[in-house]
Chains A and B, each alone.
Chain A
Amino acid sequence: MSRITRVQLFVTCLVDAFAPRTGLAVVDLLERLGLEVECPDGLTCCGQPQLNGGFAMEAAALARRTVDLLTVDDAPVIVPSGSCTDMIVHQYPRLLADDARYAERARQLASRCYELSQFLVDVLGLEVVDARGTGHVAYHASCHGLRGLGVRRQPEQLLDGVDGLTRVPLSEADVCCGFGGLFAVKMPGVSGAMLQRKLDAIEASGADTIVVTDLSCGLHIAGGLRRRGSRVRVVHLADVLGAEP
């Protein structure tokens, strides 16, 4: 696998709109590892909100255009989100299974698409990434990355290797924060109650920073912490790893 020299980056719609610097941190990190990074033009949203909302036709349309944009080049696709990666890896092949023009390409794309930490640890075989930080961090294991892709050990291992950081345990780290896409707006009562329990656990952990591998959960948790007046920050794993030593 060490023959990988080029990668394609799909930063996701949320990073694009809300956290462009996280996107640049991913680019910096990958370039520091000696990889040539390309971000194909025209990428927007993977279609997960449509799929999970029950809009299968709209989701399939977005899946097809994303497949088109990411199969021009056959370099591995890196996504700094477990949830969007899971969409491409597990849902695209299912969604496009009966589409003669796309079924095979969707499967092929799925086979070379990775969540960021998964790519670094499982594909590149890295044990640590040269980076520096300070303070106490805790990792929140987002649902789709965790249960769809098995992402938890990888980000935790990478965090443990960052100079100057201490990782502390977070109770119920693998329990959903209550985001769930449209769920947070459609079912505000339930979603809010789930968030409060997550925030309680975060404040009890003693961490000053929560690290996520999904910006969606990160923004949800950060918005909740801010509303509480908490001083705990939320950052993406790429923000931590992108910081040069």
Chain B
Amino acid sequence: MSQAPAFDRRAAAAAADAKLGEALRFTTGRLQAGRAAALAELPDADALRDHARRVRAHTLRHLGRYLDQFAVQVEALGGTVHWATTAADAVAVVVEIATRRAARLVVKSKSMLSEEIELNHALEQAGIRVVETDLGEFIVQLARDRPSHIITPIVHWTREDVAVLFRQRLGAAEQDVADIPAMTAFARRLLRREFLAADIGVSGVNFGVASTGSIVTVTNEGNGRLTTTTPPLHVALMGIERIVPTVDDLEVMLRLLARSATGQKLSVYTNIVTGPRRDGEVDGPRELHVVLVDNGRSTLLAGELAEILYCIRCGACLNICPVYQRVGGHTYDSVYPGPLGSVLTPGLHGLAAAPDLPQASTLCGACRDVCPVRIDIPRMLVALRTSSVQQGLGPGWVRLGVKAHAWLASRPRAYRAALRAVGVASAPLARQGWMARLPWPLSGWTAHRDFPAPARRPFSALWAERRRAR
């Protein structure tokens, strides 16, 4: 009988996949170690994190003002700002820009927001070819797969998988897939042609600087720079929470982002675009459009989940999470997986859209410990669980069981009687104090471990006896 939630069924399958387990263990382990070493190098990482948290809190408290300032700056530089309330609005803006330009080819650098609004699909529907240029995303697109991590989208792939894919789908020769550098060079040759032929470059935005109207993207492959400078038109997709007030604040975030994400001091490329090409400049797009996407964020901002918008998308909470490590990103069935996604996805789209995600955590707190801006994810998971109970979501047996337990626990005499009854009822099932099989719903427990039989006499009885003896 499968009573387990969909998340858990996917999780069990993922956990049984030894190759996936090895890939996750290797990459999350490497990223965690890198992060720890890179933060230890800073003179006072804790103070920097506290400062970064204050910057994020301040910015979001005054978000309207900073967004306006940012928009004014972008337009003063000659860019165009579009405000999109929903994912559909954002997609419509981009499709409209592309069709107006009769664009045939769009190159993209990595953008989780574009995944969130499902941009590629809409562009393809409009007859436009879309090419992902981040190597991981390129592979995801080629394989019609989905990213399983926000920083390393193909953490679930091995180099051998990629070699097979390149040979089958791209006709790569043996020497093209001999090792990772060869495969990278092969992809690079293909992508270079696309960059030069593209009509539009679509990028995400790591940070938008309010005081200067600058758009900042960080990459390790240089594809972000080519995407935002080679095609004649650049569309930057930016979540409204990505604002930093000043260049000084940007510096704080950049120092923490790369260290927390990959253990680098800085990403290989930090790309700062301040307006479209100016007269006399030799490169850069002629036209720059910034699409500011809300898609549920301003609603989040007003509630008890606002803190999740502090997130700078480093992925450290995914790497440290013992659930993510065992089950991988696809198990979450959410654009944003891991602890971040378990708050953000139900936060943006409602609990009904992702009822299992807030439950998919032991509340161990490791995510809160590593977060560069100290987001209290466990607190918000509990808040979401509370909303879930209030909305009547979740299995009935949990509600009944938890309420019955609370009722008994408020009545010590009934509680003791129930304890004795459980002791008597379980005695025939127990061997050496442990039970190997229990009926549903406790069968979930005994699927993986024995369950302890209650002691014949609880501590309260032994204590009362000892006290009487004195």
Interface residues of A (CB under 8 A from B): 11, 13, 15-21, 23-24, 27, 39, 41-45, 47, 49-56, 58-59, 61-62, 65, 143-144, 147-148, 175-176, 178-197, 219-220, 222-224, 226-227
Q: Is B162 an interface residue (CB 8 A)?
A: no
Q: Is the CB of A187 within 8 A of B463?
A: no
A192 to B415 CA separation, bound complex (whole angstroms): 30
Q: Is B450 an interface residue (CB 8 A)?
A: yes
Q: Is the CB of A194 within 8 A of B403?
A: no
Q: Is the CB of A44 within 8 A of B415?
A: yes
Q: Is the CB of B5 within 8 A of A17?
A: no
Q: Is the CB of A188 within 8 A of B406?
A: no
Q: Is the CB of B11 within 8 A of A189?
A: yes
Q: Is the CB of B362 within 8 A of A19?
A: no
Contact with A along B388-399 (1 / 0, CB 8 A): 110000110011
Residues of B close to A58: CB separation below 8 A? 402-403, 406
Listed by A's residue number, 8 A-B pairs whose Cβ atoms lie within 8 Å are: A41-B412, A54-B386, A62-B410, A147-B365, A176-B364, A185-B442, A186-B444, A190-B12
Given contacts A17-B419, A55-B406, contact A192 B448 (CB under 8 A): yes
Residues of A close to B366: CB separation below 8 A? 143, 147, 175-176
Q: Is the CB of B15 within 8 A of A190?
A: yes
Nearest CB in chain A: distance from B332 CB, A: 11
Q: Is B182 an interface residue (CB 8 A)?
A: no
Given contacts A54-B386, A187-B359, contact A147 B364 (CB under 8 A): yes
Nearest CB in chain B: distance from A113 CB, A: 18
A53 to B461 CA separation, bound complex (whole angstroms): 29
Residues of B close to A16: CB separation below 8 A? 419, 458-460
For window 373-403 of chain B, which residues contact chain A by CB distance below 8 Å? 382, 384-389, 394-395, 398-399, 402-403
Please name the 6 residue pairs, one residue from A and one from B, whose CB atoms are nearest each other, closest first.
A180-B362, A54-B385, A189-B12, A192-B448, A223-B449, A193-B15
Contact with A along B410-438 (1 / 0, CB 8 A): 10100100010000000000000010100
Nearest CB in chain B: distance from A55 CB, A: 5
A54 to B462 CA separation, bound complex (whole angstroms): 33
Q: Is the CB of A180 within 8 A of B364?
A: yes
Residues of A close to B7: CB separation below 8 A? 187, 190
Which of B9, B323, B363 meets A52, CB within 8 Å? B363
Q: Is the CB of A194 within 8 A of B323?
A: yes
A93 to B459 CA separation, bound complex (whole angstroms): 28
Interface residues of B (CB under 8 A from A): 4-5, 7-9, 11-12, 15, 322-323, 326-327, 359-366, 368-369, 382, 384-389, 394-395, 398-399, 402-403, 405-406, 408-410, 412, 415, 419, 434, 436, 441-442, 444-445, 447-452, 454-455, 457-463, 466
Q: Is the CB of B409 within 8 A of A184?
A: no
Q: Is the CB of B462 within 8 A of A147?
A: no
- Interface SS of chain B: helix, strand, loop or mixed? helix
- Nearest neighbor of A223 in chain B, beta-carbon distance: B449
Q: Is the CB of B403 within 8 A of A18?
A: no
Given contacts A184-B445, A189-B11, contact A179 B362 (CB under 8 A): yes
Which of B326, B415, B447, B451 meets A194, CB within 8 Å? B326
A193 to B450 CA separation, bound complex (whole angstroms): 15
- Nearest neighbor of A182 in chain B, beta-carbon distance: B398
Which of B363, B395, B447 meets A188, CB within 8 Å? B447
Q: Is the CB of B364 within 8 A of A143?
A: yes
Which of A39, A62, A184 meets B406, CB within 8 Å? A62
Q: Is the CB of B462 within 8 A of A227?
A: no
Known: A195-B449, A223-B450. 17 other contacts (CB 8 A): A17-B458, A18-B455, A20-B455, A21-B455, A41-B412, A47-B406, A49-B405, A50-B405, A147-B365, A175-B366, A183-B362, A187-B4, A187-B444, A189-B9, A194-B322, A224-B448, A227-B450
A144 to B339 CA separation, bound complex (whole angstroms): 17
Q: Is the CB of A23 within 8 A of B8?
A: no
A223 to B435 CA separation, bound complex (whole angstroms): 9
Which of A23, A43, A147, A187 meets B5, CB within 8 Å? A187
Q: Is the CB of B452 within 8 A of A222?
A: yes
A21 to B458 CA separation, bound complex (whole angstroms): 9
Q: Is the CB of B463 within 8 A of A18?
A: no
Given contacts A42-B412, A54-B382, A189-B12, contact A144 B457 (CB under 8 A): no
A227 to B454 CA separation, bound complex (whole angstroms): 18
Q: Is the CB of A45 within 8 A of B405?
A: yes
- Count chain B CB atoms within 10 A of each CB in A15, A53, A58, A222 and give the residue with the most: A53
Q: Is the CB of A20 within 8 A of B459?
A: yes
Q: Is the CB of B11 within 8 A of A190?
A: yes
A42 to B442 CA separation, bound complex (whole angstroms): 27
Q: Is the CB of A20 within 8 A of B462?
A: yes
A187 to B363 CA separation, bound complex (whole angstroms): 13
Q: Is the CB of B459 within 8 A of A227?
A: no
Q: Is the CB of A176 within 8 A of B402?
A: no
Q: Is the CB of A186 within 8 A of B5?
A: yes
Residues of A close to B454: CB separation below 8 A? 17-18
Residues of B close to A17: CB separation below 8 A? 419, 454-455, 458-459
